[in-house]
Structure 1
Amino acid sequence: MLRQPYGGSRQKLVIALDLGTTFSGVSYSILDPGIVPEIKGVTRFPAQDNTGGNAKIPTVLYYDQSGDLMAAGAEALDEGVIRSAEDEGWVKYSRFKLHLRPKWADTKEINEAIAPLPPGKDIVEVFGDFYAYLVDCTLTFIQESHQNGADLLRSVQDRIEFILSHPNGWEGVQQKKLRRAVVYAGIIPDDDKGQERIHFVTEGEASLHFCIDRGLSSFIKDEEGVMIIDAGGGTVDISTYSRTSDDQSFEEIATPACVFAGSIFVTRRAENFLKKKLKGSQYEGEAELIADCFDKTTKHRFRNADEPSYIKFGTMRDTDPQLDIRSGQLRLAGSDVASFFEPSASSILREIDNQRLKARRSVSSIFLVGGFAESTWLFLKMRERVELFGVTLSRPANSPLNKAVADGAISFYIHNIVSARVAKYNYGLRMNTVFNSRDPEHARRKGQVYTRPDGEKALGGQYSIILPKDARVSKIQEFRHSFKRLYQNVSHMNTIRIDMLCYLGDKSDPRWMETEPGNYSVLFTVTANTGKAAKALKPLRQKKRGFYYRFDYDIIIFFGRTELKAQICWMEDGVEKRGPAQILYDRDR
């Protein structure tokens, strides 16, 4: 799809921060009115020669004993920094991204793969420190790489917008913490205008934009689906789309998935294997070092379970035939190395099957991106499986696979091609209905009947669906349901507060909340100032209890840029009024 000239009236700088579990990267675009935007990557970081790449840096931090940041990124792997860390007692910290995972991902395997947070630091501060480092490196790169770079940065200082990418499985709870992190980092001011400069995109959606930018749309068959798999260090994000009839956009055709099956778990299994293999030998204390060598070289080269693999870790004098160590190299059977990969591959393939079953259209193509996508064994294993179903698997050529999210996030901002998404959950609210003695479900609950202000007998504790799970929601579509509230005192109507709920069970049409109390969760409380409208209400007469007031309103659910939002709507002086829109997220997840 051809990119259009930027339609804004003022120059703007957009920066995409891809903070990954193992490696991070940054892309940016300078938006000039009337000019077609270009996506550029930050390819120069301090001490980057130690990383072996030019588009990514390690997601590593060093803190001193006081909790002050001493080194980050590639600098943290510099020999001088490592020596200083040993002398001064600095704490090396990595893989911290997984501390922000949702509660449903709180498993033993994940817990064992990450280290505790640094003393005196919470996850917001650690994210903030690394975001600050990435932005500082980015601004330095722009200043040094562009003519009049310093003048450019000064002119757009208050108009820099940031796109933060995150796994498919992260939602409002995690996004709220990321917002706090960028404020802590000093990247934006802590006010509404500052927050408006922060945007979110899932790694799956960013990867779709990356693939389309690389020309892969020509491989997508009409009337069929395409699956995007972003295989990273910690998570593997799986999203499924189809092209719309106008060929100008894509829409989700299945709920996006996120599995914790990234490359760090392969290394973790290798380390556990090595600890057992080397236990009781002179190399027992070297298991972590050898696993690190495996992570940097052997893991990427491995492709065949029928051939042995070698881990280079020592010198010519390191030899122990009983352990298959010769001249500083440890020999591993290919079947053993494959066993490190198998659980991750099985999780990914299982979710591919789930997506294919849920998708509204037949999936004919899969695009694989991300750092873990560079694993030849993983690619061949996945291709062998999906080709059984007539599905093609490919990796974008002539472009670093680990740049997909950062580049795709900028593309998402410039021209968002996703026009519709799928609701992840069932959204609604608690309601009451008039008691019906002929309804068996009502009759069973007659002891819970109460009298409303209008004199009607009613039953509460019922769930009203506003947006069902798996519903297709376009960017311009609103899901609206009408409700009413009855009051005896108009002074109680100055503010409306409504708990928005999420149903997590398996029923397609849940009704009575008492039957599954554990499957209903309060997302948040949406509010609206309705005092003016309340004053205009006329009292209604009720035979036995005097007067009461009735207030009619709608609850609206719609998509924001990448997240669902909800708000209250009512009529005031003949004009529709709306309360502030709030993002739908489960604060308990």
Structure 2
Amino acid sequence: MPERKPYDGTERKLVIAMDLGTTFSGVSYSILDPGRVPEIKGVTRFPSQEHVGGDAKIPTIIYYDQDGNVKAVGAEALKQNVVEDAEDDGWLRCSLFKLRLRPPSTTSDEITQEIPSLPDGMDVVAVFADFYAYLFECTKTFILDTHQNAASIWKSVEDSIEFVLSHPNGWEGSQQSKMREAAIDAGLIPNDDGGHSRVHFVTEGEASLHFCDEEGVVIVDAGGGTVDISAYSSVQSPNANSYAFEEISAPACNFTGSIYVTARAKVFLEEKLAGSRFADEVSLIAECFDTTTKLRFRDIEEASYIKFGTMKDRDPKLDIRSGQLKLAGSDVASFFEPSIASMIRVIDNQRAKATKPVSSVFLVGGFAASDWLFSKLKEHLEPLEIQCSRPDSHVNKAVADGALSFYLDHVVAARVSRYDYGISIYMTYDPYDADHYARRDTTFVDEAGVLSIPGQFAIILPKDTQVSETTEFRHTFYRNSIHLAKLQYIATVIRCYRGIKTDPLWMDEEPDAYSSFCTIEADTSEVARSLRLRRRPDGKSYFALSFDIVLLFGRTELRAQLSWKENGEEKRGPARVVYDRIL
């Protein structure tokens, strides 16, 4: 990556990056002092962390009692006394809850059945908030314990901390909105514009980019729940001494992470052990597979073993001897196969759509530790003259560190749109147009007295368009009303087209391919104040409002503005982006 520049701010600042992962989570931070080059540091001590290896990650697990109170989090939740207390007192173990926040378009039965229940009366935002609060307290403790003059440093920054929250490539504005809501509920930021602006978002694929410094690279961030795949190319930045990256293909997100390998193993074990005295031990055996056998598997020709019991546990007919269950290498490989095949399909698709050649693939994330996964990707890619590699250590820290790098270095200069974004419009009815005539039953007379037909999709941002942070996309809106008061405020729904057409037009042809992305709300009273009455063909009066909605898609979070002309001069005002709350 390019050499980091000294911090040019005038006041000390603390930036905390939280990677709340499906199975493991981590935190990195940087204390920015004016004139000094920022350093990225990881939180490497958490309570009871010796239970998970003492590195910079903890299990994404929370125990709640029956009243919804947090009882244990992270590595503490693996302690034997906690597990026993949970069983005795009926605590609820929450894991994999991150998957509950996924977009509705990614929902499937395979995903849903793997997610444990939440406590009664709690939604996923509340669980996110509890976990964010825990990560924050651990970070605060770590900083106070490891830095000189830590108390004065903390006091100088605690009211202005910036947070960078990572999320899968496939998550959209609605998920970001809920993550910000969780940060508010966790007490990380106040619920006002100033507080909201202190939360930043980065995709997990983009956060992993800080490992790379080459042109035409695909990042495969393989985690517990999701596999995020992104393609980038290095470009010269305006600063001649450094470079930046641009997306060369739309990022992808698949729910094919390592937990699904374990899920397939569990189904296999349930069938294999059905009717035996070991049938009740399937969950334990699957857990042992998850923590040992899955990670060690590397050769389809060799048998694998799951150590789960004692020397007395034996049943040769089931391949169980001395508390170990023997599995054929081909069976273990079959547990991996759907996930690996899915990754290869997406990588090939990214290569096909990329605007520049791809010369390397970089594998990061917790699942990257699997030698079998790595070897199968290399087996597919090397004949294509594509180098496949992975970091030699800290694969789980990639996202947390990379989220800080995203904030500090701003190395991504352009991104690629994943869908067609636009709005539903109506237009003047033309009886000589075959498409119009076929829909003549939907016509109506608008406020200006014109016979109109609804249901067309007007694209604002086409799919697979490369967008820089400053690129603006705009659409001119017209609002007519006989009542001026109805033009003081507007709310317009931005929609996504997720179908396969290259020029979608009539929304009734593929109604399921269109979904609401967000609503743009704006106060248009300043625009409306200068409107004058117009006359309809039937002699009635109405007001006509004309303005532009300006959208900036180039960052990881959508921004919007209102634009209008006044005496020939462009004026701008704020617009608010609102997402539906769907849990």
TM score, norm. by length of structure 1: 0.93
Q: Secondary structure at the match of 1:514?
A: coil
Alpha-carbon shift at residue 84 of structure 1 (Å): 2.3
Q: Secondary structure at the match of 1:255?
A: strand
Q: Which amino acid aligns with 1:411?
A: S
Q: Secondary structure at the match of 2:243?
A: coil
> Quick one: which of 221, 227, 230 aligns to 2:221?
230
Alpha-carbon shift at residue 575 of structure 1 (Å): 4.5
Distance 1:3-1:541 versus aligned 2 partners, 3 A rule:
same
Alpha-carbon shift at residue 498 of structure 1 (Å): 2.3
Q: How many residues align?
A: 578
Task: Describe the superposition over 1:66-107 as per-residue Cα deviations: whole angstroms up to 9, x where unpaired.
Answer: 211111111111122223223323222211111112222222
Distance 1:149-1:512 versus aligned 2 partners, 3 A rule:
same
Distance 1:52-1:459 versus aligned 2 partners, 3 A rule:
same
**Range 531-540 or range 14-23, more displaced:** 531-540
> Quick one: which of 453, 469, 472 aligns to 1:478?
472
Q: 1 CA distance for matches of 2:582 and 2:94? A: 27
Q: Secondary structure at the match of 2:55?
A: coil
Q: Which amino acid aligns with 1:31?
A: L
CA contact (8 A) 2:18 2:135 kept: yes
Alpha-carbon shift at residue 365 of structure 1 (Å): 0.7
> Quick one: which of 513, 520, 525 aligns to 1:519?
513
1:264 paired with 2:259, answer yes
Alpha-carbon shift at residue 503 of structure 1 (Å): 2.3
Corresponding residue for residue 52 of structure 1? 53
Alpha-carbon shift at residue 463 of structure 1 (Å): 2.2
Task: Describe the superposition over 1:249-297 as per-residue Cα deviations: whole angstroms up to 9, x where unpaired.
Answer: 1111111111111111111122222222223333222222122122111
CA contact (8 A) 1:172 1:586 kept: no
1:530 paired with 2:524, answer yes
Distance 1:447-1:169 versus aligned 2 partners, 3 A rule:
closer
CA contact (8 A) 1:18 1:26 kept: yes
Q: 1 CA distance for matches of 2:423 and 2:121? A: 40
1:288 paired with 2:279, answer no
Corresponding residue for residue 326 of structure 1? 321
CA contact (8 A) 1:266 1:340 kept: yes
Distance 1:446-1:128 versus aligned 2 partners, 3 A rule:
closer
1:174 paired with 2:192, answer no
Alpha-carbon shift at residue 12 of structure 1 (Å): 0.7
CA contact (8 A) 1:450 1:459 kept: yes
1:305 paired with 2:316, answer no
Task: Describe the superposition over 1:319-358 as per-residue Cα deviations: whole angstroms up to 9, x where unpaired.
Answer: 3322222333222111111111111111111111221222
CA contact (8 A) 1:431 1:462 kept: yes
Corresponding residue for residue 551 of structure 1? 545
Corresponding residue for residue 428 of structure 1? 422
CA contact (8 A) 1:565 1:584 kept: no
Corresponding residue for residue 363 of structure 2? 368
Q: 1 CA distance for matches of 2:108 and 2:441? A: 43
Corresponding residue for residue 206 of structure 2? 205
Task: Describe the superposition over 1:136-195 as per-residue Cα deviations: whole angstroms up to 9, x where unpaired.
Answer: 111000000001112211110111111111111111221122122122222222222221
Equivalent runs, 1:306-455 vs 2, <5 Å: 306-397=301-392, 399-446=393-440, 449-451=443-445
Q: 1 CA distance for matches of 2:31 and 2:138? A: 16
Q: 1 CA distance for matches of 2:484 and 2:313? A: 85
Q: Secondary structure at the match of 1:80?
A: helix
Corresponding residue for residue 565 of structure 2? 571
CA contact (8 A) 1:23 1:57 kept: yes
CA contact (8 A) 2:414 2:554 kept: no
Equivalent runs, 1:132-147 vs 2, <5 Å: 132-147=133-148
1:118 paired with 2:109, answer no
**Range 380-389 or range 575-584, more displaced:** 575-584
Alpha-carbon shift at residue 454 of structure 1 (Å): 5.3
Task: Describe the superposition over 1:452-489 as per-residue Cα deviations: whole angstroms up to 9, x where unpaired.
Answer: 56565543332221111111111110012334334444
1:43 paired with 2:53, answer no
Distance 1:293-1:553 versus aligned 2 partners, 3 A rule:
same
Task: Describe the superposition over 1:338-387 as per-residue Cα deviations: whole angstroms up to 9, x where unpaired.
Answer: 11111111111111122122222221110000000000000001110112
Q: Structure 2, unaligned stretches of length 5 or more?
A: none
Q: Percent identity?
A: 56
Q: 1 CA distance for matches of 2:540 and 2:279? A: 84
Q: 2 CA distance for matches of 1:239 and 1:569? A: 33
CA contact (8 A) 1:293 1:313 kept: yes
Q: Which amino acid aligns with 1:373?
A: A
Q: 2 CA distance for matches of 1:588 and 1:181? A: 14
Distance 1:543-1:107 versus aligned 2 partners, 3 A rule:
closer
Q: Which amino acid aligns with 2:13?
A: K
CA contact (8 A) 2:300 2:333 kept: yes
Distance 1:125-1:497 versus aligned 2 partners, 3 A rule:
closer
Distance 1:124-1:457 versus aligned 2 partners, 3 A rule:
closer
CA contact (8 A) 1:467 1:557 kept: no
Distance 1:568-1:284 versus aligned 2 partners, 3 A rule:
same
Q: Which amino acid aligns with 2:204?
A: E
**Range 464-473 or range 323-332, more displaced:** 323-332
Distance 1:572-1:527 versus aligned 2 partners, 3 A rule:
farther
Q: Secondary structure at the match of 2:120?
A: coil
Q: Secondary structure at the match of 1:310?
A: strand
Distance 1:39-1:449 versus aligned 2 partners, 3 A rule:
same
Q: 1 CA distance for matches of 2:320 and 2:447? A: 83
Corresponding residue for residue 27 of structure 2? 26
1:498 paired with 2:492, answer yes
CA contact (8 A) 1:271 1:287 kept: yes
Task: Describe the superposition over 1:420-478 as per-residue Cα deviations: whole angstroms up to 9, x where unpaired.
Answer: 11112211222333344543334444565555565655433322211111111111100
Q: Structure 1, unaligned stretches of length 5 or more?
A: none
Q: 1 CA distance for matches of 2:413 and 2:556? A: 10
Q: Which amino acid aligns with 1:341?
A: F
Q: Secondary structure at the match of 1:473?
A: strand
1:239 paired with 2:230, answer yes
Q: 2 CA distance for matches of 1:300 and 1:345? A: 15
Distance 1:549-1:232 versus aligned 2 partners, 3 A rule:
same
Alpha-carbon shift at residue 495 of structure 1 (Å): 2.1
Q: Secondary structure at the match of 1:205?
A: helix
Alpha-carbon shift at residue 523 of structure 1 (Å): 2.8
Corresponding residue for residue 131 of structure 1? 132
Alpha-carbon shift at residue 391 of structure 1 (Å): 1.2
Alpha-carbon shift at residue 537 of structure 1 (Å): 2.7
Q: Which amino acid aligns with 2:151?
A: A
Distance 1:78-1:353 versus aligned 2 partners, 3 A rule:
same
Q: 1 CA distance for matches of 2:280 and 2:484? A: 74
